[in-house]
Amino acid sequence: MNLLVVEDNPRDMQELLNLLHGWEEQNQPLGIRAESCITADTMQAFQGYDAVLLDIETPGIDGMAFARRLRACNSRIDIIFVTCHTDLVMDGFSVHAAGFLPKPVEQKQLWETLDFLAKRSISRRADTCVTFKRGTACDRYYYDDILYIEARLHNIVVVTPQTRQKYNLSLTQALENLPQPPFVRCHRSYIVNTTKVTAVEKDALLLAGGGKTPTTPTYSTAIQRALLALKA
């Protein structure tokens, strides 16, 4: 399980890390990234994490604003607020927070939260996903979150309802990492997730949420087979 921990107080951070490492010793390894503030890099690195332990009051971009950005781009990541301000609990509902840990964080509460997150992570990983490398970061996408993938020069762009992210891959390489069906080539420059297709037009596929991808007769048979497989 991969965790992002954001806490600007060095003492509170060390106490959190000690508790996390204690849980690790009795349960399973954790991939922990510890940050004292939210930077532009942090804002781009959330795809690879199962959960974030987030101090609401952080310098620069505050924790609640970061949580809203996280939730807009990733519906699955668990957000756990760590705060002295329990009066902000109601604000957490707006970003569907999975929990609040009041400071000072108690071992029992944190460990119970980690037990819950670990079980949730196992369940979610049963929903298969694909990982694309972006520089030194790895972004994980659940298949159901992907609408389509578009080729752009020597890169691809993965499109979800919330995001568009570029990777240095070919369309063929991307398709090799995806199940076929439901992912099929619908155009020389597009791969579509056929579970998202709501209608088929002469030269386009209409997608859930109002998007669409172009299509050509070359790929019509593969598209029809994929759509029929969904109904079987």
The pLDDT of residue 54 is above 80: yes
pTM of the model: 0.56
* Close Cβ partners of 124 (under 8 Å, ≥ 6 residues apart): 50, 76, 142
CA atoms within 13 A on the CB side of 194: 24
pLDDT (0 to 100) of residue 181: 87
Q: In this predicted model, what pLDDT tens digit does every residue of 143-177 receive, in sequence order?
A: 888 999 999 988 999 998 878 899 999 999 999 99
pLDDT (0 to 100) of residue 208: 83
Distance CA 38, CA 142 (A): 25
The pLDDT of residue 75 is above 70: no
Q: What torsion do the CA atoms of 161, 164, 167, 170 make, to the nearest 10 degrees?
A: 70
The position carrying tokens 């460990």 is 111
pLDDT (0 to 100) of residue 124: 58
pLDDT (0 to 100) of residue 53: 92
Distance CA 39, CA 163 (A): 19
